[in-house]
Structure 1
Amino acid sequence: MDMGEEFVLFPIHKYGDECMVGCLLIHGFTGSPYEVEPLATFLDQHTDWKLVSPTLPGHGERLDLKGIKHTEWMEHAEKELQQLLKTCKEVYIIGFSMGGLIASYLSVKYDIQKLVLLSAAAHYLNFKQLWKDIKLLVKEGLQGNLANNELYNRYHFKIRKTPISSAQEFRKVVRVVRPLLKRVEIPTFIAQGEKDGIVPPRSAQYIYENISSNEKSMFYSSKAKHLICHSEDNNELFEKILLFLQEE
C-alpha cells in the first residue's frame, strides 16, 4: 500500500435490500467490537440504521495476530464498507484508535457522508498519563486488588499476546494514513479522553488541524481513558455523536 498512491472515489451504489443509513464501526489495534459496543448499542436504540462492527483479522477476544499484515486489517474494513455502500444510500464511519485511522483512509477513498474519530491514534503512548496509571496499578497491587483491576487484566493479556511484529504493522497503518489526513474533506467529529494513557490528547488536536474538512468539531472527555466508549461520561459523548450524525 503506497503512501503516495492516488485515490479515485468509489461510489458503490447497488441497492438491494435497501436501507437509508448504514454505519461502520471499526475497533482498534489488539481490540474487538467490545471497544465500540456501548456506542453501537446506543445508536441501535435511537435509530433504525444498519450497524456493522466487524472483527479485524487476528483480533477479537482471543488474539491471534502472528503473521497478519496491516493491509489485511485495512482491506477487511474496506470490504465491510463496500457491502454497506451497496445496500445503503448514506454511510457513516466511526473509528476507534487504530480504527480511526482506517476510517480516515476509507473516507478519502470512498463516497462517505460523515466521519467520527474516537481516540484516533495519529500519535500514540501518552507517557504522562500512562505513568499515572502504572502508579495506580502498583498501589492496587500492594493492596491486593490488582486481580480486580479491569485495565490491568485487559492490557496484561494484550501485551502477552501481541508479537513485536504486529506492533510494527500497527505503526505502518499510522505511516500510511497520517499523510492522507489532509485529504479528509467530509464532516468530521473528533473525540478524545483527557486521561488516555495510550493515545495522547495532542493526537486529536493534530487530526483537527490537519484534516481539510470545513465542518469539524472536537470533544474532550475529562473522565475517559483510552476506552472512551466505556467511560463513565459516555452518554454525553454518544448524544453528541448522534446529534452530529443526524444533522442535515
Structure 2
Amino acid sequence: MPLLPGAEPFHQAGGPVGVLLVHGFTGSPQSMRPWAERLAAAGHTVSVPLLPGHGTRWQDMQATRWEDWYAEADRALRELADTCEQVFVCALSMGGSLALRLAARHGDAISGLVLVNPSVRSDNPASVLLPVLRHLVPTLPGVANDIALEGSTEVGYDRVPLHAAWSLGRLWKTVQEELPGIKQPLLLLHSPQDHVVSAANSELVLARISSTDVTELLLERSYHVATLDHDAELIFEASLDFIRRLAPAGAEDVSAENHQG
C-alpha cells in the first residue's frame, strides 16, 4: 500500500545525542518532521518511525493494536541507543502514551521526555461502548488536523478505525498504571484550546509521575497538532534548551562543529 505524501519515516544521523519522535493516533511522521529537522540541524541524531497501520489508509490500521505501535517505537529507541550516548523521546498525542511506556520500561536509558498534548485517557463517555460498537461500525469521523494556523495541514486519516480505537483504550489503561514508575526529566507542553485531547490528560500525567525535574509550558495560540501550529517554534526551541541542559556532551559537540565552521 503506497504511503500518503509526507508520511514516510525520517532518520538522520548526527552527534552523540539521539532523539526519538513519536507521532499520534491516525497521524504520521509528517506532523513531527519540522521538529525533527530542527533537532537534526542542531546536530542531534534523529529518528521518526512510522507506526504500523499509519500513513496509508485507515483500513490498514484496523488490523493493528497498541502493542504493534509500541513495538515499532521500542525498536527505533533501541536502534538510537545502540549508536548514541544519550537518548531523548519527544512525542505528540497518543505518541505521548507510547513515550511514557518507553520511559517506564527503559528507565535510565532515556535521559528525558518532551510531550506535546499527550493522550493518556478517554475524554469521550461513549468510549465505554467501543468493545461492542467496534463490531457493528467500522469507523467514526477522524480527529486529524486540529490546527489553528491557516494553511497548515496534518497528513492523517479522516476516519478513526474502531478496532484500533478500542486498543488505544487498552494502551491508556496500561500506561496509567505505569506512570508512578516514571522518573525521567519531563518537559510537557499543552494547548488550552485542544479539540481532541482535554487538559485532564496533562493533569493526569503531572499528578502521577515520580519525576522531580518537570517543566510545564502552555501553547496559547495552538490547537491539538501544535507541532504544525502557531507555537511550533516555541516547542522546537524549548525542547532544544531542555536537551542541551540535560546532555552537555551533545551541546559541546554542536558548539565544536559551529566553531570549526
TM-score by length of 2: 0.73
> Structure 2: where are the runs of 5+ without partners?
1-12, 126-149, 247-261
**Matches of 1:79 and 1:182, distance apart in 2:** 24
Alignment counterpart, residue 204 of structure 1, candidates 202, 205, 210: 202
Alignment counterpart, residue 38 of structure 1, candidates 34, 38, 45: 34
Q: Does 1:57 align with 2:77?
A: no
Percent same amino acid among aligned pairs?
27
- The residue that corresponds to 2:176 in the other structure is 178
Alignment counterpart, residue 83 of structure 2, candidates 80, 84, 87: 87
Q: CA deviation at 1:163?
A: 2.2
**Matches of 1:108 and 1:241, distance apart in 2:** 20
> Structure 1: where are the runs of 5+ without partners?
1-16, 128-147
Distance 1:34 1:99, change over 3 A: same
- The residue that corresponds to 1:238 in the other structure is 236
- The residue that corresponds to 2:164 in the other structure is 166
Alignment counterpart, residue 97 of structure 1, candidates 90, 93, 108: 93
Alignment counterpart, residue 29 of structure 1, candidates 25, 39, 59: 25
**Matches of 1:204 and 1:18, distance apart in 2:** 31
Distance 1:61 1:210, change over 3 A: same
- The residue that corresponds to 1:228 in the other structure is 226
RMSD across aligned positions (CA): 2.3
Q: Contact conserved, 2:31 with 2:155, CA < 8 A, in 1?
A: no
Deviations 1:103-150 (A, max 9, x none): 1111111121111111110234489xxxxxxxxxxxxxxxxxxxx987
Deviations 1:11-37 (A, max 9, x none): xxxxxx994111100001101001112
Matches within 5 A, 1:54-133: 54-63=49-58, 64-110=60-106, 111-125=109-123
TM-score by length of 1: 0.77
**Matches of 1:67 and 1:42, distance apart in 2:** 34
Runs of 4+, deviation exceeding 6 Å? 148-151
**Matches of 1:107 and 1:220, distance apart in 2:** 23
